[in-house]
Amino acid sequence: MRQQWSSADLLDLEYFLSRDQELVGGAAEGRLAERDRAIYLQIKDSCQQNAPSIDRGSLLHQWLARRRLDFYQKNTDGVVLPGRLFQELIRISAWGLFLLALIAGWGMAQLLLRYSGTTPINVSTFLGLFVGTQFFLLFALLISCVVARIARHDPFPVTHTLLRKGIFLLIAKLGRLSGNGNTHRLLTGLFSRLQQQRKVYGALLALPFFIRIQLAGTGFNLGVLAATLLTVVGKDVAFGWQSTLQPGAETVYRLVQLIALPWSWALPAGIAHPDLAQIEGSQMILKEGIYHLATGDLVSWWPFLCFAVAVYGLLPRICLLTTGWFVNRSLLDRLEFNTALQQQLLHRMLTPRLSTESKKEAKTSPVVERVPEPEANDGPVVFCDQVLALIPDEIFDDCVGEEFSRLVRKRLGMQIKHCLRIQGEGNEEQKNLEFIGQNVLSGNASILLLQEAWQPPIEEFFSFVRELRSSVGEKVLLGILLIGKPTAETIFTEVREQDYSIWQQKLVMLGDPYLQCLQLVRS
């Protein structure tokens, strides 16, 4: 059964991945591989999946549960993970916004429904304030979603963006209050990272806030309805209509009929909305006062007003609230978990590790209990069956062969299908990009760019990477494979830590979640 993910789970997953990303270098990566492989061996039976058909979501969810448990067991400073902070704050904000909106709706309705016995409440003002304004906001929401879909921007208005940033900022402040400067730094980096993950998670980062806004709208309308009904029951309230434009009673009657269409079919005219005679009898004329108006006509409006608030204010908010919850659940269930860091994590978990400890080392080192590895034929899982290797012209002839394919499979669990020589600039480079985009890649595919790490990264290379991303699409995995200085025996040598760190930092600045930087050869 697929594990149920939540927004808090995604925050914690990205938090742990960002922490692991800071551990660069051969020794640190080796420790990560040992840790993640050990976690896999502990949880693989509960996954009940064979390696070729592994459920990534289930595997990562159980890995996350183990990391959380380990975090809280080792945590002595009382620091909590960002997912729990987010979950608590989003729950508090939901109740807080609902109650504030409920009080606001109640208060505004009470102010408007004050009746001194001389001037009836203007129906037009009530409808404009409690129905017209909300209808305008819903229309603005629809327009903003359509425009955002066309322009590929954030699909929610400024209100939701401000609320999201406010809660994220509060979480970061709480991290600072914990007294752990490293925690605050990691949280700040996490939220910057989440801004770059929109192409991965899409609306998932905004939907929790959208749902809370709709919950607040629901509370506001409930407050208006409660105040109106209680005022009508407990007091003598009169409603009337007037306008400087002086429309006829028949015109107002047709407008009222149009507004009441959603519910008038189930109720008689006297209850669903005032009839023509009642509308004529509730028209207020400034110089004549209200003494000539009949009480039955003045009180005939309140059911219509309550139905209008319920249908045009409360019902849309409930529908949007329910829709937002289902869409959020659906998007969480359809997550693919195929970003570069997630792929690296899965590869570390699913690739068996061989011990190279010598007998001499075993005598002088403390005894470490290891989880038994499976049989030797349990090889790494191949996540991508279509891998294109892009190799610079000057090293192409030295790389095409079985040795390069073997190293890539061992390091990444990928099987190279094509090798393409990258040469020239201008027209030649454009031809390469067109060939890659049109003729090579389809379905589950990845691209590997082989680079010599001892040569510094230059702007021309990053320009090529950006053009390549534009050519192949947002979610094709791009891997920068680094090799060290060639020797007389082989071109596939280890990368110096200093060179790898420079390349890693430069590539992180691109903010591409489907881009990874790896050393091809590790000791």
Residues 383-405 have pLDDT tens digits of 555 688 888 888 888 887 788 88
Q: Are residues 174 and 318 in the same domain?
A: yes
Does residue 50 carry a pLDDT above 50? no
pLDDT at 223: 96
On average, the pLDDT of the chain sits at: 78
What's the confidence (pLDDT) of residue 224? Answer: 95
What dihedral angle (degrees, nearest 10) is formed by the CA atoms of 109, 110, 112, 115? 140
128 and 232 assigned to the same domain: yes
Residues 130 and 144 in one domain: yes
Written as six digits, the tokens of 28 are 């640190």
Evaluate if residue 153 carries a pLDDT over 70. no
User: Are 199 and 284 found together in one domain?
Assistant: yes
Residue 395 resides in a domain: yes
From the list 74, 108, 330, the residue with the least C-alpha distance to 219 is 108
Tell me the backbone φ, ψ of residue 266, rounded to 5 degrees: -100, -5
Identify the pLDDT of residue 523. Answer: 66
Which pLDDT score is estimated for 170? Answer: 64
Q: Is the dihedral of CA 421, 422, 427, 433 positive or negative?
A: positive
Q: How would residue 442 be classed by pLDDT, with cut points 50, 70 and 90?
A: low
pLDDT at 516: 87
**Where do the H-state alpha helices sit in 299-339?**
302-309, 315-333
Nearest C-alpha neighbor of 285 from the set 252, 251, 242: 242
pLDDT at 84: 84
pLDDT the model gives residue 306: 94
Q: pLDDT higher for 366 or 438?
A: 438
Residues 163 and 278 in one domain: yes
Please tell me the predicted confidence (pLDDT) of residue 392.
87
Rounded to an integer, the average pLDDT of 323-343 is 89
Residue among 469, 429, 409, 422 nearest 450 (CA): 422
In this structure, are residues 472 and 437 in contact, taking their beta carbons and an 8 Å threshold? yes
Residues 342 and 469 in one domain: no
Sign of the four-CA dihedral 468, 472, 475, 478: negative
- Asked whether residue 378 is domain-assigned, the answer is no
- Residue 472: CA count within 13 A, CB half-sphere: 27
- Note whether residue 208 is domain-resident: yes
Q: Tell me, what CATH number does 490's domain have?
A: 3.40.50
Residue 190, pLDDT score: 64
Query: Is residue 306 domain-shared with residue 437, that is, in the same domain?
Result: no
Q: Are residues 184 and 111 in the same domain?
A: yes
CA 16 vs CA 72, 204, 333, 345: distances in Å: 13, 19, 21, 11
pLDDT at site 100: 96
Q: Taking the chain, what is the end-to-end CA distance rounded to the nearest angstrom?
A: 38
pLDDT of residue 308: 94
Q: Which residues of 378-416 are buried (b: 16+ CB within 10 A; e: fewer)?
A: eebbbbbebbbbbbbeebbeebeeeebbebbbebbbbeb
Contact 301, 231 (CB under 8 A): no
pLDDT digits (tens, 9 = 90+) for 86-139: 888 888 889 999 999 999 999 999 999 887 666 788 888 899 999 999 888 888
Same domain, 426 and 290: no
pLDDT of residue 335: 87
| Residue 290 pLDDT greater than 80, yes or no | no
Residue 2 lies in a domain: no
In the chain, the number of structural domains is 3
| Tokens representing residue 274 in the block | 């005032």
Task: Report whether pLDDT(163) > 90.
Answer: no
- The answer on 329 and 342 residing in a single domain is no
**Among 8-12, 137-141, 170-174, 420-424, which is the least confidently predicted range?**
170-174
pLDDT (tens digit, 9 = 90+) per residue, 172-225? 665 555 545 555 555 566 666 666 677 788 778 778 888 988 999 999 999 999
Instruction: Determine the structural domain holding residue 54 and report its residue range.
Output: 7-74+337-354
Confidence of residue 368 (pLDDT cuts 50, 70, 90): very low
Task: Report which listed range, 126-140, 283-297, 348-362, is most confident.
Answer: 126-140
Q: Within this chain, do residues 299 and 433 fall inside the same structural domain, yes or no? A: no
**Residues 261-289: what's their mean pLDDT?**
80
Percentage of the chain beyond pLDDT 90 is: 19
Tell me the per-residue pLDDT of 449-486, one tens digit each, with 9 for 90 and over: 999 999 888 888 888 888 888 888 888 888 899 999 98
Alpha carbons within 13 angstroms on the beta-carbon side of residue 221 total: 26
pLDDT score for 413: 76
Residue 359 — very low, low, confident or very high, per pLDDT cuts 50/70/90? very low
